[in-house]
Structure 1
Amino acid sequence: MTIRSVHEAALAALMEADPDAKCAAAQALQADWGAGRLRVVAAADLGEPLTHPGRPPRPLLVPPQEVPVRAAGRREGHAALLHAIAHIEFNAIDLALDCVYRFRSLPVDFHAGWVQVAAEEAQHFGLVRERLRALGFDYGDFSAHNGLWEMACRTAADALARMALVPRVLEARGLDATPPIMARLRAIGDAGSVAVLETILRDEVGHVALGDRWFRHLCAARGVDAETTYRQLVDDFGAPRPRPPLNVEARRAAGFSEAELARLGGAQD
């Protein structure tokens, strides 16, 4: 049996431009990892950002403020909402793959965790894309923004910053946003998409928790206080603050402390 580097296999999946091929490659990565056909090759982390991962020619990427907001009660607005979710999930595949490709100094457990996340994000993308297609649209039919990947590039040189600002900031915002989106979809009778988002929310708690675990691990290894460091990184990078209401239960399950939740405005009596 040929044993290959998990980092190079992750890069190959990362550079796949076709969405179906990328999803298949992410799931094959997990299968090969589970079968013992891939190994971690301990080395220094790669600091140079990968600015152009594999992407299809559409969607058109525009600044966040130029992404149109449409009412979910109309068919096109309904589809635009699902498209925005699909785009997040597509980017999340790349974010997980980049962790495996880039942060080679970290233990085997780190890579195992992000290999699994990549496969789960691929599944999520496929589920949302199915719902989008049921409305007569497809991924790429609406414009989108590149904020998630831009943060990946900004944190490419530091695993601690990546774990803080992608899972614990950007993906944690998804924990807050998903229940209101589910309520909007439920109100227009889209039970199928609500069921998909229930699956995504369950898995995303685990993804944020994985980031929390390695963020705290890296803080301990560097001898710095995790929660003070988190606040400093959010300020230093100008990362977005959460928008209320917070999903306190999900954030708590993902590793946020009571003190953090109180500072974020999500404390409950």
Structure 2
Amino acid sequence: MENTQLEIETLVEAALLVLNTGDVNEKARISDDFAIKWLDGVITLPYVSSREYIIPDRPPRLPNVKLVQPSLMPKLGKAGSLQSRQAIVHSLVHTESWAIDLSWDIIARFGKQEAMPTEFFTDFVKVAQDESRHFRLLAERLTELGSSYGALPAHDGLWDSAIVTSKDLLARLAVEHCVHEARGLDVLPTTISRFRRAGDDRTADLLEKVIYPEEITHCAAGIKWFKYLCLRSEKMASPFSGGTVFQDVWDSETDNESDETTNEVIRKFHFTVRTYFRGPLKPPFNEAARKAAGFDPRWYEPLAVKEAASSVAASQ
């Protein structure tokens, strides 16, 4: 593997190596390694314009995790028993394993295709690095709880959404990096409270102090680049200029941003989610975390179940 890594010249090549690695532990390791190389300037090119890249529809995985349909998943419980805590952490480990792939997939699948600026690549490399760390920490915690990744069934609903959004970057950003990531922010405070009530402060601290704040930045990346694409289509800005394009496009709008511009971006978000995401969003919403990520209730409340409009308290 080290010899292979030495031959990597572009970030998209690195992304493809991560995506095509079936062993998730190795995937997490090389994901972190490539992220460091990009952030430290060892890898400098995002891609080669003249080169064609083949992105896997579904990254390969070792058959060590039994997969079932989401509707057939056993109930995780409320962390009141050791078995429930193991099941919840196992589910989180599995989710983070696919989150690593999602971060590299958006780089490989859409970066060149959409001629995205350098800042786009850097933002999702940072997301990938976070997800790799989350996977490792949660997998270690699962072992400490007396279980291991693969000991329980899981489902691949997260990657099923990736397949549905594989042709449209706006859809990928909206569904995976806003809807699904934001849903995680909605439920994490309750999960943390349940682990604390069960006396498992170690897991609660991991979720609260490491994973929760970093997941807010992942939602923020989704909103940021969704806005960018909407505004770029209006401004017809040069799509690639060494990482300054986002600020150029964004500043041109936000300095004197009209309500109509904002409303048009939000309407595009609503249309995209309704097109690519099955069903309404489920309250209660964690308004404080969502606001910290950069989107207010106008983005998500019109997409919610109408009879349930409550929100998670801002103190959470």
1:230 to 263, 269, 272: 269
| Residue deviations 1:172-197 (CA, integer Å, cap 9, x gap) | 10000101111111111110111111
1:96 to 96, 103, 111: 103
Give the corresponding residue for 1:204: 215
Kindly tell me: are residues 3 and 81 of structure 1, through their superposed partners in 2, closer, same or farther at Cα, counting changes over 3 Å? Answer: closer
Q: 1:147, CA displacement in angstroms?
A: 1.1
Distance in 1 between the 2:310 and 2:52 partners? 36
**SS in structure 1 opposite 2:285?**
coil
Identity %: 34
Kindly tell me: are residues 266 and 110 of structure 1, through their superposed partners in 2, closer, same or farther at Cα, counting changes over 3 Å? Answer: farther
User: Does residue 141 of structure 2 align to residue 131 of structure 1?
Assistant: yes
Distance in 2 between the 1:2 and 1:46 partners? 17
2:42 to 37, 44, 65: 37
Q: 1:101, CA displacement in angstroms?
A: 1.1
Equivalenced residues, count: 269
Q: 1:50, CA displacement in angstroms?
A: 2.7
Contact 1:70-1:80 within 8 A present in 2 as well: yes
* Unaligned runs of at least 5 residues, structure 2: 1-5, 235-260
**SS in structure 1 opposite 2:86?**
helix
Q: How does 1:247-266 map to 2 (within 5 A)?
A: 247-260=286-299, 262-263=301-302, 264=304, 265=309
Q: 1:141, CA displacement in angstroms?
A: 1.1
CA RMSD of aligned residues (A): 2.4
Question: Which stretch shifts more, 42-51 or 16-25?
Answer: 42-51
Question: Which stretch shifts more, 158-167 or 254-263?
Answer: 254-263
Structure 1 outlier segments of 4+, above 6 Å: 44-49
Q: How does 1:80-159 map to 2 (within 5 A)?
A: 80-103=87-110, 104=112, 105-159=115-169
| Residue deviations 1:116-168 (CA, integer Å, cap 9, x gap) | 11111010011111111011111111111111111111111111111111111
Kindly tell me: are residues 20 and 238 of structure 1, through their superposed partners in 2, closer, same or farther at Cα, counting changes over 3 Å? Answer: closer
Give the corresponding residue for 2:229: 218
Kindly tell me: are residues 78 and 153 of structure 1, through their superposed partners in 2, closer, same or farther at Cα, counting changes over 3 Å? Answer: same
Greater C-alpha Rg: 2
Distance in 2 between the 1:37 and 1:180 partners? 41
Contact 1:169-1:240 within 8 A present in 2 as well: no
Distance in 2 between the 1:47 and 1:156 partners? 15
**SS in structure 2 opposite 1:141?**
coil
**SS in structure 2 opposite 1:4?**
coil
Question: Which stretch shifts more, 43-52 or 61-70?
Answer: 43-52
Contact 1:97-1:114 within 8 A present in 2 as well: yes
Give the alignment's TM-score, normalised by structure 1.
0.92
Give the alignment's TM-score, normalised by structure 2.
0.79
Contact 1:47-1:157 within 8 A present in 2 as well: no
| Residue deviations 1:220-268 (CA, integer Å, cap 9, x gap) | 1223822111111121123353322211000011111242355344678
Kindly tell me: are residues 257 and 21 of structure 1, through their superposed partners in 2, closer, same or farther at Cα, counting changes over 3 Å? Answer: same
**Amino acid in the other structure paired with 1:228:** R
**Amino acid in the other structure paired with 2:15:** A
